[in-house]
Structure 1
Amino acid sequence: MLFWSGAVVVGLTATAFTLSSNYAQMLFHSMVTAYPWLPLLVTPLTLAGVAALTQRYFKGAEGSGIPQTIAAIRMPEGSDRDAVLSLRVAIGKMFLTCISLLGGASVGREGPTVQVGAALLYNLRWLVRFPRHLMERGLIVAGGGAGVAAAFNTPLAGIVFAIEEMARSFEERTSGTLITAVIIAGLAAVYVQGNYTYFGVTNATLAGTSGWFGVLLCGLAGGLLGGGFSRLLLAFSTHGLPGRPGVFVRTHPVKFAALCGLALALIGIASGNAAYGSGYAEAKHLLTGTETVSAGYGIWKMLATFVSFVSGIPGGLFAPSLSAGAGVGQIVASLLNQTNPGALIVIGMAAYFSGVVQAPMTAFVIVMEMTGNHDMMVPLMLAALLATAVSRIVCPRPLYKALASNYLARARSSA
């Protein structure tokens, strides 16, 4: 009963996080609509303030949250793991991500929800003694998977993500725990928000030979762009900038975050105010065709997400990557003169996301569930697998695993 209650708390917390982050984005977009140039002041100050709070009070809350959760699974039981999955870090993660979105950062809440969900279930161990195999990794994996399920209303994707990206195996002793947590957390989120599809339902299908050629193009483009994005991100995270710029980043992280905020504001203005935030609204506009989105949106979104991530603030890559992928699909559809670009936009989302995280099963399952389009399963699988193969040529180290290794190395060197 305690474990079930914990899973319910994960679902309700993810829902509260969703509503808060959506409200923060709404406030920012209202401000930009009224004062288009105000981000030049607000965004640098916000990113600097968030970076300062993270450095001072919430060490371990920076970045996506998924690498920290994977690192926690690899850590021996003790103070290091407790620090990464503390309730203080979980609260800071949610609060600072919302503040970042309020300032226009191109981040998502889904990666942070993984760390928050893992922290909530992991801290149940203070209330009751669980079996050792659950204490070692089961609660962390289950909490992370439950976080994905509740954040997107994608229970199957939550299970697949936990197996493919976090656990890398399906252990008989913990499988029941994982599935139970995902289902209960998902039900709790649905109870509050209703049963919905993240991007709405789309019935778009591929049209003829050109449509399947578009799948191949999306797979290649998603793998090249996603792999390039991950390689640049890992290069910055591992080695930093060379020379004096690198020294400046290490010694003045708050000032560097402010500069990133200024760059982000300039990117946002150049993109017609489309590159800010998680990108949920822009991706939905592309899928439904309800509003016009600029042809270069995907590239602007990639740049905005890169700048936001390297600034050191909390925030995830899931939603921005899916949104950028929708922009990739838009470009491919325009090259092939598709009268109904919706199908290739869906394919582009899965392809670019696969290129970034190199988790093809999670990519096609999560996009399929988020759009309610099960007829696209085969082309989604093909694009995701092709993008992953191409991405591994460009970036041999999977992003989240490599970031987790970097995080472990820093934790050991500071111990």
Structure 2
Amino acid sequence: MRQFLSARHLRLARVTSAHWQRRTLFVVGGITIGAAAVGLALAADWVQAEFNRLVTHWRYASLIVTPLGFAVSVYLTNRFFQNSQGSGIPQAIAARELEDQDARGRLVSIRIAVGKILLTLLGLLCGASAGREGPTVQVGASIMFAIGRFSPRRQPGLILAGAAAGVAAAFNTPLAGIVFGIEEMSRAFETRTSGLIIATVITAGLTSLALVGNYAYFGSSPAMLRNGLDWLAIPVCGIAGGLAGGLFSRIVIVVARGLPGSLGRAIKANPIPFALACGLLVALCGIASGDAIYGTGYAQVKAALESGTPLRGDFGFFKFLATTFSTISGIPGGIFSPSLAVGAGVGANIAHYFPTAPTSAIILLGMVSYFAGVVQAPITAFVIVTEMTDNHAMVIPLMCASLIAYAASRLVCPEGVYHALAKGFAHAHEPH
């Protein structure tokens, strides 16, 4: 009897030890991701300021720096950090779908995470219209996957938790991180790992909070729609933003899969000259816009929402073009912040037709509409915009605009950009 109890206690101790080991992995991962996200955010702000200082001193410097920077970035990506191109979210999604651990490691690893950070900063340093949030997702997934190697059991939720924590820490939006993990990364709610995912997101968020304090990404915006006519802006923004977002996604997917004919073959055979050409086009967009479209677009949108600083009438158009060229060039960089900036430009233009409505409210509708049109994740879209602007009075309008934009986007692009690109990565790395 004593031997039976002793064996039972030993089994219980082993189960308890494994139980706590599993939770410790997620907590340690959350802390590491939060610190990495804050470091990337601070470095991104610094390199953007340096580029702005350069073009302020000589505005045509972008015609040299941006194309050369794009070419160098693509060379380094293809030579040393393969699979770090683009936003990084498709790679994280593909890694989750793959069963082979070695194949996963080629999409999410510490080497790729280091390259992702360095090359994202290089892109912003040379004026790319790119964001740091998508890269933070791949970095988060890579960190959790690497930490998981210390576990005797491979944890199926590690990549998902890392990706969700990346969104939460990058934007200081814990709820959006959880929703993103459910809606976009997994397209399903996994009861087995949901608690640990939430714990990782909270840990990453608390780490970010401890390092940089509590803040709303785009500041606080109390704007809201007032009379009945103002509410007509919801379908207008939803349709316009959704169609534009769908067009962006369609272009990115078509180029990624390869354009038909000799042009497509030439782009595939000459990635560095193509990146150089894309960089030159971004520089031309920057000059035409009065140097307004470089970087994430964060400063312009925050100024428009918080202090009412008007956006140029052509801001949305040139930001759309610059983000498209930056994305298809093959350099590492995200599309979250640039998409929100494009949407802000769309909303600012539509606001002229609704003179009685607060301009910042229409800008918010444009942001959520275009973003939902690009990612085709409507719940994530309105949650993330709500959290980033600390505006709960606009929840219902944002929700409606997001759903309308999602439907409009699918008329142009039947599949979401992240999952469409993830299929390519998964197919290229699945065992044959």
TM-score, length-scaled by structure 1: 0.96
**Is the contact made by 1:142 and 1:177 (CA closer than 8 Å) also made in structure 2?**
yes
Aligned pair partner of 2:295 in 277, 288, 292 = 277
Aligned pair partner of 1:343 in 345, 353, 361 = 361
Q: Are 1:405 and 2:428 counterparts?
A: no
Q: Which residue pairs with 2:53 in the alignment?
A: 30
Q: 1:187-207, CA deviations, whole angstroms, 9 ceiling, x for partnerless residues?
A: 000100100000000100113
Q: Which residue pairs with 1:97 in the alignment?
A: 120
Using a 3 Å threshold, how does the CA distance of structure 1 residues 307 and 100 change in structure 2: closer, same or farther? same
Using a 3 Å threshold, how does the CA distance of structure 1 residues 338 and 295 change in structure 2: closer, same or farther? farther
Question: Partner amino acid for 1:92?
Answer: G
Q: Are 1:195 and 2:214 counterparts?
A: yes
Distance in 1, matches of 2:91 and 2:151, equals 24
Aligned pair partner of 1:236 in 255, 278, 301 = 255
How much has 1:339 moved relative to structure 2? Answer: 5.7
**Is the contact made by 2:258 and 2:268 (CA closer than 8 Å) also made in structure 1?**
no
Partner SS, residue 335 of structure 1: coil
Distance in 1, matches of 2:318 and 2:40, equals 26
How many equivalent pairs are there?
A: 409
Distance in 2, matches of 1:410 and 1:83, equals 11
Q: Are 1:313 and 2:331 counterparts?
A: yes
Q: Are 1:221 and 2:240 counterparts?
A: yes
**Is the contact made by 2:293 and 2:319 (CA closer than 8 Å) also made in structure 1?**
yes
Q: Are 1:126 and 2:144 counterparts?
A: no
Q: 1:135-176, CA deviations, whole angstroms, 9 ceiling, x for partnerless residues?
A: 23x000000000000000000000000000001111111001
**Is the contact made by 2:339 and 2:371 (CA closer than 8 Å) also made in structure 1?**
yes
How much has 1:289 moved relative to structure 2? Answer: 3.9
* RMSD across aligned positions (CA): 1.3
Q: 1:214-240, CA deviations, whole angstroms, 9 ceiling, x for partnerless residues?
A: 111100101111111111111111132
1:52-201 matches, cutoff 5 A = 52-130=75-153, 132=154, 135-136=155-156, 138-201=157-220
**Is the contact made by 1:305 and 1:317 (CA closer than 8 Å) also made in structure 2?**
yes
Partner SS, residue 128 of structure 2: coil
**Is the contact made by 1:278 and 1:319 (CA closer than 8 Å) also made in structure 2?**
yes
Q: 1:366-410, CA deviations, whole angstroms, 9 ceiling, x for partnerless residues?
A: 000000001111000000000001111111111111110122223
Deviates more, 1:305-314 or 1:332-341: 332-341
Structure 1 consecutive aligned stretches of length 4 or more whose deviation exceeds 6 Å? none
Distance in 2, matches of 1:364 and 1:36, equals 36
Q: Are 1:42 and 2:60 counterparts?
A: no
Question: Partner amino acid for 2:302?
Answer: K
Distance in 1, matches of 2:319 and 2:328, equals 14
Distance in 2, matches of 1:202 and 1:290, equals 10
Q: 1:79-103, CA deviations, whole angstroms, 9 ceiling, x for partnerless residues?
A: 1101111100000001000010000
Distance in 2, matches of 1:45 and 1:253, equals 13
How much has 1:293 moved relative to structure 2? Answer: 2.1
**Is the contact made by 2:372 and 2:402 (CA closer than 8 Å) also made in structure 1?**
yes
TM-score, length-scaled by structure 2: 0.92
Partner SS, residue 374 of structure 1: coil
How much has 1:186 moved relative to structure 2? Answer: 0.3
Gaps of 5+ in 2: 1-23
Partner SS, residue 60 of structure 2: coil
Distance in 1, matches of 2:138 and 2:249, equals 20
Q: Which residue pairs with 2:316 in the alignment?
A: 298
How much has 1:290 moved relative to structure 2? Answer: 4.6
Distance in 2, matches of 1:367 and 1:24, equals 25
Partner SS, residue 365 of structure 2: helix
Distance in 2, matches of 1:6 and 1:405, equals 27
How much has 1:253 moved relative to structure 2? Answer: 0.6
**Is the contact made by 1:206 and 1:343 (CA closer than 8 Å) also made in structure 2?**
yes
**Is the contact made by 1:157 and 1:369 (CA closer than 8 Å) also made in structure 2?**
yes
How much has 1:129 moved relative to structure 2? Answer: 2.1
Distance in 2, matches of 1:349 and 1:275, equals 16
**Is the contact made by 1:286 and 1:330 (CA closer than 8 Å) also made in structure 2?**
no
How much has 1:77 moved relative to structure 2? Answer: 2.7
Partner SS, residue 37 of structure 1: helix
